[in-house]
Amino acid sequence: MPFAPFSISRLPRIHYGSGRIGEVPTLAAAYGRTVLVVTGKHSFCGTPRWRAFIEELEAKGLRWLHFTVSGEPSPMRVDEAVSRFLGEGVEVVVAIGGGSVLDAAKAVAGLLPHGNSVMDHLEGVGKNVPYRGPSTPFIAVPTTAGTGSEATKNAVLSVQGPDGFKKSFRDECLIPEYAVIDPDLLASCPRELIAADGMDAFTQLLESYVSSKANPFTDALAWSGMKAFKEGFFSAWEGIEPAAGHGRGAMAYASLLSGITLAQVGLGSVHGLASPLGAYFPIPHGVVCGTLVAAATRINIEALQAREPNHPALVKYAEAGRLLTGRNEMDDSSARSALTELLAEWSERLELPRLNRYGIGAEDFPLIVANSRGSSMQTNPIVLTDAEIETILTARL
C-alpha cells in the first residue's frame, strides 16, 4: 500500500469564480420559498451588490428575512436569531460575510429546525447534548479570505472577558450545502483586514500541512494553497490594480483550501493559543495568527529537532521554506531557518500589532497557557511543554 489509511469527511459543493454570487438566488430557490439572509452590518449591505442581490431573490419569488452579525459571534446572538425566526418557516439560510457571519449563520441554520439553545451543544462549556440534526440547508458566501469557514463543520462562538471562552458548535450536519467563492467580493476589504485574514489562511495551511493527522490528500491541497498565497497575498494587500485583482482570486482560493484542510486534519499551536487569547482579550483572530506564526513555527522546529529529529514535519517545514522563499537549492536546515525568518519579516512588513497592544502581559501567560490545549493543540506535530508555549507568547509581547 503506497499510503497509510486516511479518511476525508464531507465537503460542500464548491462554486468558485468571479461573479458567482449571481448564482446564489437560483441555488437558494431550489430549497424553498423563504430564505434567511445573514450578513455583517456594512461589509456587503453597504455595497451596490446588496440591492442587486435582493432584487434577484425577489425576482425568483423568494421571501427574504435579514439578520446582521457584527464582531465575534456569541451564543446569545445565535439564540436571539433562532428565537426570532423560529416560526417564520425558513427553508434555507444564506450567509454573505466574513468568518464571524458564516459561523453565526451556520449555528442558526443548525438550530432552526429544533429551537433549542446553542449552549446545549457548545463543546466544553455547554450541556454536551449530542446534536442529531437535521440542519436547515445552508449556503456560505465569504466576503473575506481568511477563516475558510465555508468549508468546515465548525461554528466558532465566543464570550469575551475574565470568564470568557471561544468554543465550537461542531457537527457534519452543519457543513454548507454550497460554498460560493466569488473573489470580486474581496474588493471592499480594507488593507488591515486583508493582512490579518490572509495570515489566518496561511497559518491554517501551514499548520494543517504539518499536522499530526496530515495525509497525502490534505498535503496536496495545503501545498496548492500555500503556492497561491505566495503568488497572490502581497498583491492583494498592496491593492495596486490589476495585480490586486489577481491576488484576490489567489487568496480566495487559498482561504477555501485552508478551510478544507483544517476541517480534515486539524491545526496546531497558533490556533491552540488563539482560543484563550480571543476569549480573554479583544485581539482579532487573524492578528493572533499573523503575529504568532513565526515564533510558533520556530519553537515547533526546535522541539522536534531536540526530541523527534526524524519527524516528517521537519522535512515539511523545509519544503515550505523553499517554496515560500523560492530558494530551492537550500538544504533542509537552512530552509527551516529561512522559513522562520521570512515569517518574522512578514509580521513586521504587515505592521501586525504585538500582544501588549491588547492589554496582554506576562502575568497573563499562565492562564493563557493553561487554556491552550484544546482541539487545535492536539494536532500540533509535537506536544509542547508549558515553557515552550510561553516562549511563543514572550516572543511577540
Give the DSSP per-residue string, 220-263: HHHHHHHHHHHHHHHHHHHT-TTHHHHHHHHHHHHHHHHHHHHH
Question: The CATH number of the domain where 137 resides is what?
Answer: 3.40.50.1970
In this predicted model, what pLDDT tens digit does every residue of 313-334 receive, in sequence order? 999 999 999 999 999 999 999 9
Q: Please write the tens of the pLDDT for every residue from 265-287.
A: 999 999 999 999 999 999 999 99
Residue 155 counted as domain residue: yes
- Same domain membership, residue 130 and residue 80: yes
Number of domains in the chain: 2
**Domain of residue 131, residue span:** 13-186
Q: Are residues 140 and 233 in the same domain?
A: no
Kindly report the CATH number assigned to the domain that includes residue 300.
Answer: 1.20.1090.10
Q: In whole angstroms, what is the distance from residue 65 CA to residue 253 CA?
A: 30
Within this chain, do residues 298 and 240 fall inside the same structural domain, yes or no? Answer: yes
Q: Are the C-beta atoms of residues 375 and 212 closer than 8 Å to each other? A: no
Residues 247, 332, single domain; the answer is yes
Q: Tell me, yes or no, whether 26 lies in a domain.
A: yes
Q: Is residue 250 part of a domain?
A: yes
Vertex 43 angle, CA 38 and 46, to 5°: 95
- Which pLDDT tens digits describe the chain residue by residue (397 residues)? 468 899 999 999 999 999 999 999 999 999 999 999 999 988 788 888 999 999 999 999 999 999 999 888 999 999 999 999 999 999 999 999 999 999 999 999 999 999 999 999 998 887 889 999 999 999 999 999 999 999 999 999 999 888 889 899 999 999 999 999 999 999 989 999 999 999 999 999 999 999 999 999 999 999 999 999 999 999 999 999 999 999 999 999 999 999 999 999 999 999 999 999 999 999 999 999 999 999 999 999 999 999 999 999 999 999 999 999 999 999 999 999 999 999 999 999 999 999 999 999 999 999 999 999 988 999 999 999 999 999 999 999 8
Same domain for 147 and 94?
yes
* 1 in a structural domain: no
What is d(CA 247, CA 258) in angstroms, rounded to the nearest whole number?
16
Q: Which three cell numbers stand for residue 217?
A: 490528500
Question: Is 264 a member of any domain?
Answer: yes
Q: Distance between CA atoms of 110 and 71, rounded to whole angstroms? A: 20
Taking the C-alpha atoms of residue 336 and residue 290, their distance in angstroms, rounded to an integer, is 18
**Distant-in-sequence contacts of 314-322, Cβ < 8 A, 24+ apart:** 316/209, 316/210, 316/214, 316/219, 317/210, 320/206, 320/209, 320/226
Specify whether 294 is located in the same domain as 265.
yes
Domain boundary among 186, 213, 242: 186
CA gap 155, 169 in Å, rounded: 5
* Residue type at position 364: D
Strands 34-39 and 92-97 come out as parallel
57/195 same-domain check = no
Nearest to 190 by CA among 346, 46, 342, 37: 46
> Which of 144, 161, 186 is at the close of a domain?
186
Whether residues 126 and 237 fall in one domain: no
Location of C-alpha cell 475558510: 148
**Torsion (CA) 30, 31, 32, 33 in degrees, nearest 10:** -70
3-state SS, residue 169: strand
Residue ending a domain, choose from 133, 151, 186: 186
Least Cα distance to 270 among 218, 194, 205, 353 occurs for: 205
81's grid cell: 436569531
Instruction: Let me know whether 23 and 143 are in one domain.
Output: yes
Q: Which of 273, 189, 179 is nearest to 233 (CA)?
A: 189
Spatial distance between the Cα atoms of 205 and 284, rounded to a whole number of angstroms: 19
What global pTM score does this model have? 0.95
